[in-house]
Amino acid sequence: MVATGCTGGDDGGAATTAAPATTTANTPPTSQAPEQDQSATTLPPATTEALAPITTLRLAAPPDCATNPACADGLARVYGIDVSDLIVPTEPGAPMAAAVLEGAADVGVIFSDDPALDDPSLVQLDDDRTMVAAENIVPVAKMALVSDRGDALRDAIDQVTDSLNDDELRSALAAVRDGTSPEEAARTFAAATGEIDPAADAPIRIGAEAFPTARVLANVYAMGLSARGYPAVVVPIDGFRALEIAYMIDDEIDLSIQYSASLLEYLDGFQGRSSADSAATLSALRELLALAEYEAFAASPLQSRNTFVMRKDIAEANGIANLSDLIPLAPPADVAPAPGDLPELQDPFAIFGPGDLRIGSVGPEVRELQELLSQIDYYGGPLNGIFEEPTRRAVAAFQVDSGSAPDGIVGPITLVALREAVDAGATAITTELSTTGDSSGNEIHLTFDDGPSGEFTPQILDLLAQYDAKAVFFSIGNQVEGGAELLQRAVSQGHRIGNHTWSHASLDGMSADTFAGEVGRTQDAISAAINETPTCLRPPYGATDDQTRDRAAGLGLSVELWNIDPQDWSRPGVENIVSNVVEHAGPGAVVLMHDGGGNRDQTIAALGQILERLSADGYRFTPIPGC
């Protein structure tokens, strides 16, 4: 059922025309009868006919959704709904709304503090069975922090927490979305509470995960504590909760701004101990953290919870107002047994296993480490559970590639990064070696994902032209029509266009139908734009499964990953992007960068320097062979 190219609504559930009767029977008897043409014809591609039961529920959600008790896992457990296809857009908020509005997803998950929720074409589904727990913002630190710095620090932290409010946070996030830095947005936010007077010594290091709310809040606490006599700095973290906790354990940060329910569930192994009761959730979290001598300070009333949205016209036409209204329409989940008595609380940091592994360590943990390293081709030695020089070298090589100090010792940060690498791109390294081919020459293959972008793609094309560099642009299908001229210009300059799915969906575990919609539809759109059909597919997040290659091959596509990832999407600073690429560059290397998906000013500034330095080293820039 590849879309025939007319409107956006003809993939997904609409093709299963089987049983309209079911729908009618299950809609509530309100005055809004679910007749097809009842709803206002406000939206252009409106497919407001009654939904037939759907074989796949496509959910656009943040990266942690699969295991989040307030997301896919919760929909199965609490509502008995199976989320068959998870679509994880590049950034939270607006891209989720876009996926729902243009029909790539049936339901979207947006944080309750996100300005994208205000779109009048979206409707928020009521969580009528209380799946989403109380999710208050709560600062967490080792107890030693307060004993070192004195009890007045707790007051200072509590005062900053008290100053948080929903309106200020929302406007700060709206400013960040419009290009203001999190620091600037936080300055406006913090200015409401006290003068900002940065002092000098021994700053308190506050972790900031890689999403806008976390960056803004970390800056608000840093400024608020500084103003109260506790100099504080923000430590940006290129990852999410697991990595931030690892930073905390390794003493790379002192204070972490968390969400009460999510942190409780994460540390407790998703036992379902959080609830809609804020106080009960916080007290369970404190009890758990105390076992490992960590402290959760007072929580803010401010929450940031998963909120489920649908297109308003579709929801209204089908009488869907609550999450439970989806049950008769959505595929049923294998319902997990209802949680009985909760197990006793355990040391929450046991998830990181025993202490550091290093030369001389022996045992099953070392064997597991060797298996992880070998899965992504860093280790080819015996899986014998003995940490000797070959294991140390493999660890150090991985640490270099993941951007941490190559000390050859496996602490929590390395372990988290390693598990994430295995989960996200298990096939990355073997594939890139087989696709790049020529490792003896002087060619480097630049790639740009997530475009085309009217603002950033032209600047990148200009820079590439200055160095006679040819690249591959992996385009997102739903941006192709609006960016057709950019793609034509790229092709006329000698660049190649590849497929990066219709809505930046993770292809891992995806059904065949959705794959056809995501990848096949993008092939059609690109062919229409440039008169050539792409031959290369870049899976978002590098995520693939056993079927991805075969399905791609069926559409004439080879799967192309990368081996240099400077994480430019996370805006780590121009210097970081440049040094990451230049230091890892070698013949046949494939570099991942982005011309869309957010503000790319850093990418563009870095690209100029990268082209300059690598050209001077004698490299030429050519498309990935075969793309």
List the interface residues with Zn ion, window 351-380 (CB under 5 A): none
> Of the ranges 136-144, 204-212, 441-449, 572-580, which one interacts with Zn ion (CB under 5 A)?
441-449
Nearest-approach distance from CB 444 to Zn ion, in angstroms: 20
Contact between 194 and 228 (Cβ < 8 Å):
yes
Q: Which two tokens stand for residue 118?
A: 């205000």
Contact between 593 and 448 (Cβ < 8 Å):
yes
CA distances from 5 to 216, 488, 510 (A): 41, 20, 21
Nearest-approach distance from CB 591 to Zn ion, in angstroms: 14
Nearest-approach distance from CB 525 to Zn ion, in angstroms: 16
| Rounded-to-integer distance, Cα 181 and Cα 158, Å | 25
- Output the 3-class SS for 44-85: CCCCCCCCCCCCCCEEECCCCHHHCCCCHHHHHHHHCECCCE
Select 260 or 567, whichever has its Cβ closest to Zn ion.
567
Q: Does 508 bind Zn ion (CB under 5 A)?
A: no
Strands 204-208 and 255-259, how do they pair?
A: parallel
Select 90 or 346, whichever has its Cβ closest to Zn ion.
90
Select 168 or 449, whichever has its Cβ closest to Zn ion.
449
Contact between 57 and 81 (Cβ < 8 Å):
yes
Q: Does 212 bind Zn ion (CB under 5 A)?
A: no
Nearest-approach distance from CB 523 to Zn ion, in angstroms: 17
> Of the ranges 121-129, 188-196, 517-525, 540-548, which one interacts with Zn ion (CB under 5 A)?
540-548
Q: Catalytic one among 11, 495, 594, 595?
A: 594
| Rounded-to-integer distance, Cα 74 and Cα 370, Å | 34
Q: Catalytic one among 11, 449, 565, 595?
A: 449
Select 209 or 449, whichever has its Cβ closest to Zn ion.
449
Nearest-approach distance from CB 78 to Zn ion, in angstroms: 31
> Of the ranges 7-15, 224-232, 237-245, 537-545, which one interacts with Zn ion (CB under 5 A)?
537-545
Select 113 or 449, whichever has its Cβ closest to Zn ion.
449
> Of the ranges 268-276, 349-357, 413-421, 444-452, which one interacts with Zn ion (CB under 5 A)?
444-452
Which residue sits closest to Zn ion, CB atoms considered? 449
Long-range contacts of 454-459 (CB under 8 A, 24+ apart): 454/482, 454/483, 454/486, 455/600, 456/595, 456/596, 456/600, 456/603, 456/604, 457/483, 457/486, 457/490, 457/595, 457/596, 458/486, 458/489, 459/604
Contact between 201 and 228 (Cβ < 8 Å):
no
| Rounded-to-integer distance, Cα 409 and Cα 396, Å | 8
> How far separated are the first and last CA of the chain, in Å rounded?
26
Give me the phi and psi of 142, to 5 degrees please. -65, 145
Is position 546 annotated as part of the catalytic site? no
Contact between 621 and 611 (Cβ < 8 Å):
yes
Contact between 581 and 607 (Cβ < 8 Å):
no
585: left (phi over 0), alpha (psi -120 to 50) or beta: beta
Contact between 456 and 595 (Cβ < 8 Å):
yes
> Of the ranges 20-28, 346-354, 420-428, 536-544, which one interacts with Zn ion (CB under 5 A)?
536-544
DSSP 386: B
Select 85 or 254, whichever has its Cβ closest to Zn ion.
85
Q: Does 450 bind Zn ion (CB under 5 A)?
A: yes
Contact between 627 and 479 (Cβ < 8 Å):
no
Q: Does 565 bind Zn ion (CB under 5 A)?
A: no
DSSP 546: T
> Of the ranges 260-268, 345-353, 443-451, 490-498, which one interacts with Zn ion (CB under 5 A)?
443-451
Nearest-approach distance from CB 479 to Zn ion, in angstroms: 11
Long-range contacts of 244-247 (CB under 8 A, 24+ apart): 244/207, 244/209, 245/349, 245/352, 245/412, 246/352, 246/411, 246/412, 246/413, 246/415, 246/416, 247/207, 247/413
Contact between 66 and 72 (Cβ < 8 Å):
yes
Burial of 351 (0-12, 13-18, 19+ CB in 10 A): middle
Contact between 113 and 135 (Cβ < 8 Å):
no
List the interface residues with Zn ion, window 608-627 (CB under 5 A): none
Q: Does 93 bind Zn ion (CB under 5 A)?
A: no
> Of the ranges 57-65, 448-456, 506-514, 602-610, which one interacts with Zn ion (CB under 5 A)?
448-456
Is position 500 annotated as part of the catalytic site? no
Nearest-approach distance from CB 538 to Zn ion, in angstroms: 7
Select 395 or 537, whichever has its Cβ closest to Zn ion.
537
Nearest-approach distance from CB 90 to Zn ion, in angstroms: 6
Q: What are residue 94's DSSP bridge partners?
A: none
Q: What are residue 229's DSSP bridge partners?
A: none
Select 34 or 598, whichever has its Cβ closest to Zn ion.
598
- How many residues sit in the footprint of Zn ion (CB under 5 A)? 3
Select 13 or 89, whichever has its Cβ closest to Zn ion.
89
Select 11 or 595, whichever has its Cβ closest to Zn ion.
595
Nearest-approach distance from CB 463 to Zn ion, in angstroms: 20
Q: Does 114 bind Zn ion (CB under 5 A)?
A: no
Alpha helices in 254-388 (DSSP H): 260-267, 278-290, 312-317, 364-375
Nearest-approach distance from CB 503 to Zn ion, in angstroms: 11
Q: Does 540 bind Zn ion (CB under 5 A)?
A: yes
Nearest-approach distance from CB 429 to Zn ion, in angstroms: 19
Nearest-approach distance from CB 80 to Zn ion, in angstroms: 32
Q: Does 432 bind Zn ion (CB under 5 A)?
A: no
> Of the ranges 174-182, 215-223, 445-453, 511-519, which one interacts with Zn ion (CB under 5 A)?
445-453
Contact between 120 and 316 (Cβ < 8 Å):
no
DSSP 334: -
Select 74 or 95, whichever has its Cβ closest to Zn ion.
95
Among 106, 443, 449, 565, binds Zn ion (CB under 5 A): 449
Select 136 or 544, whichever has its Cβ closest to Zn ion.
544
Catalytic residues: 449, 594
Which stretches of the chain bind Zn ion, using CB under 5 A? 449-450, 540
